[in-house]
Structure 1
């Protein structure tokens, strides 16, 4: 069996100004990225106020 290791970075993109000071003060968007690859947009589940299109 061969093992493959990858390093990923998750960058939160949802700061609307007040950061995480309130439930609706921030979006749940983020970008998952790996070196040399395009970013993959992500979000939390819509039931947690996330973006269903991500």
Structure 2
């Protein structure tokens, strides 16, 4: 993804910042989803996580 962003005209620093934010968000989302799975059950937390991921991909 960083190379695609760079091809659209953004500088390398912006693309690397985006990649870092994307990966940190994935780690945080994994931790929150694991906690929610323990607290509310696997099926509801997986469903909410999938919906949030779908919305995030649509926004990107």
TM-score (norm 2): 0.24
Name the one with the larger helix percent.
2
Higher relative contact order (CA 8 A, sep 6+): 1
Q: Name the one with the larger strand percent.
A: 1
